[in-house]
Structure 1
C-alpha cells in the first residue's frame, strides 16, 4: 500500500446474537479509530446518517442499542479488496432525531377543543436521525466479565498461553502470533477480580502483550523487536507526510532504590546511572524511583534487583516519533515499522520502531491522514545520529 490511492473507505455491518441486526451496511457519514498500547481497550466511533429514523435506538436489543450489538468493520482498499479491521461492541449510542409537523386534509374529521380545524389533522413525519455511536473492541467484554472470586492456574501443567485461553476463551478466541514463546506458569499464582488485568500480567511474564485483531480474536504478540511490516517514507510512491517528535521529563529516573522486607531488619540497595545524559552527576540531576518487596531478604538480592531495574530502564528508553502518513489499515499497535526520511541537517536516515498508537479519522466518508506514534530505541537513535552531521 503506497501513495496515489483512491476509492478508500469503510463498510460497517451490525450484528446481534450471531445474526445481522440490519440487512444493509450502515449509512456511516464519518468515523474514527483510535488504538493505543497504553490502553487496555481500544475505541471506534461512527456517525450514522439515518435518513428514515429507523435506526435510532430505544431498546437495549435494538440494532444500535447497547444490549450486545457488535459492529463488523472492513476497510476497502480502492478496487483491490478489503481488510478486516475488527469487531467492536457498541457501548454508547447518542441519537439526534428530527421531526416535521404537517397539517393534512382528513374529510369528516372533527377536532373538538382543538385549534386544528374540522376536516384537518396534524401528522408528524420523521426527518431522519443522526446517531453518534461509540464502540470498543471486544476487550471491553473481557474487562466487564470480572472473576467472581480469586482464581489460580488450572490443570496439571498450566502454561501462560493456555491460561490466557482459559480466561478469555469463552468470550473471544485466543491466538498466539509468530515469535511468542510459551512457558509453564506457577500454580501458586493468584488472579484477583479483574480478568483483563490477569491476562495482561500473563502476557508480560513472557515478554508479550495482547491486542484484538481484525478477526475479533485476542492475539498475544511479542514486544521484542520483530521484522517491520511497513516502511513509512516519503516520495512519489511513499506514505509519509511528516514526522514530529517529543520528549518528556517525567519518568527519567537515574537512582533505583530497592528495599527488601523479607527479614526482621530491612535491607536496602541503590543502583545509579553514572554516565551519559541521565548521569546522577550531570545536569539532569538526581531522580530516584523506589521498589519494596518481602521476597527480598539479603543485600545481594536487593542490589541485583536494583541493577536489573536500572538496566531495564536504560533498555526501555525511547524516542517517540509522531508520524503523519496516508492510511495504513494493515498495521496494528505493537507492529514494527521503518520510519524513513527524518531529515537532520539535510541528511536522511531510517529508524525502526514499535507502533505505540494509531489514530485514523475520516474526512467525511473517506479516510483522512493517519497519525502514528512509533517508539524507537534511544540507543538506535544515538547510533543513527552518530553518523549524521548535525551542524
Structure 2
C-alpha cells in the first residue's frame, strides 16, 4: 500500500474531494513543484515487466514569461531527463492529506504548446501545456543492458542479486533464498529486467517496483486483505465465479531435477483420496516440474508436494470491478470488496487510476477445491 495516515483510511470511506498535481525531478533535484496535472491516467498490470504506464498533461503558468516546453534534450520536462511524481490530495472538511502515486520516468512528449500574450509590446509566455507519456521505474532496469553475459556469485542470495543487478533500493517482503551458483544472465535486449523477474519467481512471487521506488516481491499466495474497496451505487462487478475449468487442476506432479554433481533426481506426488484422486472419476492430470534450487532427494520430494498442494487447494479466477477511487492501494495489494452480494477478497492484478472519481481494478480471487 501507499504510505498514509490512519485518519485518511477513515476519510476515504465517506465523501471527499481530490485534486492531483505533479512534482518534476531532474536527477535528485525537484525542478517543478505541485504543478497542475490534467487528463491523466495510470494503468498498472502485474503481468507486465514494466508494470505501470501512464499519461497526463502538465499545465504551468509562467510568472516570468518563460516556457517549459522541451526542445530535444533541453528543458526540465525533456524525456531525456525528467521524472514525474503525481500526487493526489484528499480533502474532507478541515482534513487534508497528500498521497504520492509513485515516481515515473518520462518516456515521451506527445504534445506541447505555449499560450502567449502581448505585455507592454512584448510577446510573452503566460502558460505552458506539455503532454507526457511515462513508465514505472522497472523501465530503468529494462533499458540498462548487460555488456556481456554475467554469472551470479556462488552463495549469493536472491535479494542481494536483485540489489546488484538494479542498483536500486530493495524491500525484503518474503524470506530470502540462495541463487544457483552457475546461473548466467544473458546479454540481450531487456535481459537485466528478465533476470530480476526470474529472481522474483525464485523468491515465490512477482518482482515489481513499489510507489516508494523500491523493488519488492509480491507473493503468489493470496494473503489477508490490507485495504477495503467501496463498490458504491455506480460500481460494477463482472465475475466468472460460476465458470469452472479443470485444465490447470493437477492431481499428479512429476519432478525432474539434478543434484550438485549433475546426477538426476526424480520425485512424484499425487492425490490418492477424495474427488480429485488419481484413481477416481477425475482421472489423472499430470504436471511436470523442475527447479535449479532443488539439489537433494528431500528437496525434490518437498518441491513436488508443494506444487501439488498449490494446484489442488485453489483455482484462481479474475473479477473486474469498477469502484470508488482509493489512492492508497497499488497493484499487488490484497484487498476486500465491500458492497457486493458476497465477501470478495483478492490480489490486485490490474489497477487503472485517472481523473475519474471511479477506478477500475481486476482482482484475482482464489476458489477452494478441497
* CA offsets 1:215-257 (integer angstroms, 9 cap, x no match): 222223433233311123457xxx9933221478999446889
In the alignment, the residues of structure 2 paired with residue 306 and residue 184 of structure 1 have an alpha-carbon distance, to the nearest angstrom, of 19
Give the structure 1 partner of residue 39 of structure 2.
Answer: 30
Q: Which residue number in structure 1 is paired with residue 361 of structure 2?
A: 372
Q: CA deviation at 1:17?
A: 2.3
Deviation at residue 359 of structure 1 after TM alignment: 0.6
The residue number in structure 2 matching 1:232 is: 229
What displacement does 1:202 show? 0.9
Cα pair 1:57 1:95 within 8 Å, conserved: no
- The aligned residue for residue 117 of structure 1 is none
Kindly report which structure 2 residues correspond to 1:59-70, keeping only aligned pairs within 5 A, or say none: 59-70=72-83
Unmatched runs of 5 consecutive residues or more in structure 2: 1-8, 259-265, 294-299
1:346-371 C-alpha deviation (Å, 9 max, x unpaired): xxx212211111111104xxxx2011
1:93 aligns with 2:109: yes
Give the corresponding residue for 1:339. 337
Query: Counterpart in 2 of 1:298?
Result: none
1:309 Cα deviation from its structure 2 partner: 6.5
Q: Which has the higher strand share?
A: 2
Once the 2 structures are TM-superposed, how far is the Cα of residue 38 of structure 1 from its aligned partner?
0.7
User: 1:25, CA displacement in angstroms?
Assistant: 2.3
Indicate whether 1:136 and 2:149 are aligned. no
Query: Residues 8 and 210 (structure 1 numbering): CA distance in 2 closer, same or farther, change over 3 Å?
Result: same
Q: Distance in 1 between matches of 2:96 and 2:127?
A: 34
Pick closer, same or farther for the CA change 1:293–1:100 going to 2, 3 Å: closer
- Corresponding residue of 2:29: 19
Quick one: distance in 1 between partners of 2:246 and 2:14?
A: 41
Q: How many residues align?
A: 333
Change (3 A) 1:68 1:275: farther
Residue in structure 1 matching 2:211, options 197, 200, 214: 214
Alignment of 1:167-246 (within 5 A): 167-169=165-167, 172-177=168-173, 180-193=174-187, 194-233=191-230, 241-246=235-240
Judged with a 3 Å threshold, the aligned counterparts in structure 2 of structure 1 residues 292 and 19 are, in CA distance, closer, same or farther, namely closer
Structure with max Cα Rg: 1
TM-score by length of 2: 0.73
TM-score (norm 1): 0.70
Q: Alpha-carbon deviation of 1:143?
A: 0.6
Shift of 1:51: 5.3
SS in 1 for 2:163: helix
- Distance (Å, rounded) in 2 between the aligned partners of 1:293 and 1:211: 22
Matched, 1:83 2:96: no
Report the Cα offset of residue 84 of structure 1: 2.2
Distance 1:292 1:230 in 2: 36
Maintained 8 Å contact 1:85/1:213: no
